[in-house]
Structure 1
Amino acid sequence: MPKFAQILDNKVYWIFEADMQPEFAPYIVIKDIADLVPQPQEGWLYDEATDTFSPPPEPGPEGLQPTLEEQIYAENLYQTALLEMQFLGGA
Structure 2
Amino acid sequence: MANKNNPAPGDGLRSVRTTSLFRAVNFELYTRPNAVIMGLGLLAITGCAGYIAYMRSKYEGLGYYGAVKEDGTEEFVKRKSKWD
Normalising by the smaller structure, the TM-score range is 0.3 to 0.5
**Normalised by the size of structure 2, how large is the TM-score?**
0.34
**Normalised by the size of structure 1, how large is the TM-score?**
0.32
Bigger relative contact order, structure 1 or 2 (CA pairs below 8 A, ≥6 apart): 1
* Structure with higher helix content: 2
